[in-house]
Amino acid sequence: MRPILFQWGNLSIGSYAALLNLGLIAAVVIVWLDTRRSDIRLAIWLDAVLAAIVLGVIGARLGYAAINAAYFKDHTAEIFRIWEGGLFWPGGLIGGSLGAWLITRLHRDRSPARILDRLAIGAPLGIALGWIGCYLSAAAYGREMFPGEPLFFLSIDAPDLYGLTNPRWPSQLLGALWALLVFIMLWLTRDRDWPTGRHFWLFIAAYSFGSLLVGFIRADDMPLVFGWRLDQILDGVLTIAGVIGLLVTRHRAIDPVADQRP
């Protein structure tokens, strides 16, 4: 583990913050590479990306603070210390999608769903780098594994948030791998003649399902509801929402008139 990526005198750069920012940059580059081949103007997608990043990070942090309200009610100032880690993916998705949708609505010649499609292609790459940041900073760590378990060969010696090192499930690495696979799938299908909104809902359904599965091997603190991790419950809800969105776009395009405008 390497929680501090770089240190020079009193200046230190945390691995989580560095990988988070690198992930955001990577996602923006992917969106740029994708949209430069389309008729979407620079001002539109750039405004949408900036709004998605700002509201996405705010939503992810507020979501994390909400599920850890027992701690943050006595440490209010720490809510704003995003660089120390602690983001909640469902909150980031909701905030980022809302930000992009609101900005795109200001440009009446574009469909918000079409912009969300483009942003969805770059998002999982940014998430993958975020998972690597979690690995380096010992966040979202996996459950302990013991010799004799069928999949013990997958274990890695990794610490928890308190520094206790044991053989564990590589939850962060598996999360990063899943996000990368989702990115590859979306990137390879970006030129498909799909109904508007299909890539956005596919991203939500595919990534949320993988995140739900990874939740079974995570050991970091998370409120439980009827024995289930709260993040898994929300991942399940998002998976269902994504599947419903895919079924809807299978029968009709979302706002097809906007797609035909110059």
Structure tokens at 1: 């583990």
How many other C-beta atoms can be found within 10 angstroms of the C-beta atom of residue 76? Answer: 9
Structure tokens at 252: 């009709």
Confidence at 1, pLDDT banded by 50, 70, 90:
low
Question: Do 94 and 57 meet the contact criterion of CB atoms below 8 Å apart?
Answer: no
pLDDT at 34 (0 to 100): 86
Of residues 205 and 192, the one with the higher pLDDT is 205
Structure tokens at 164: 């206790």
How many other C-beta atoms can be found within 10 angstroms of the C-beta atom of residue 143? Answer: 15
pLDDT at 26 (0 to 100): 94
Alpha helices for 8-111 (secondary structure H): 15-35, 42-67, 69-72, 89-106
DSSP state of 203: H
Q: Over 50: is that where the pLDDT of 25 sits?
A: yes
Residues 6+ apart with CB under 8 A from 230: 67, 222, 223, 224
Helices then strands, counting H and E runs in the chain, come out as 9, 6
Cα–Cα distance between 243 and 247 in angstroms, integer? Answer: 6
How many other C-beta atoms can be found within 10 angstroms of the C-beta atom of residue 164? Answer: 12
- What is the tens place of the pLDDT at every residue in 34-45? 888 777 777 788
β 4-8/156-159 pair status: unpaired
Structure tokens at 194: 């799909």
Mean pLDDT for the stretch of residues 130-150 = 92
How many other C-beta atoms can be found within 10 angstroms of the C-beta atom of residue 248? Answer: 14
- 């120390």: which residue's tokens? 84
Residue 11 backbone dihedrals phi, psi, to 5 degrees: -90, 125
How many other C-beta atoms can be found within 10 angstroms of the C-beta atom of residue 189? Answer: 13
Of residues 69 and 11, the one with the higher pLDDT is 69
pLDDT at 259 (0 to 100): 46
pLDDT at 252 (0 to 100): 61
Q: Over 90: is that where the pLDDT of 175 sits?
A: yes
Cα–Cα nearest to 189, from 92, 102, 118, 83: 118
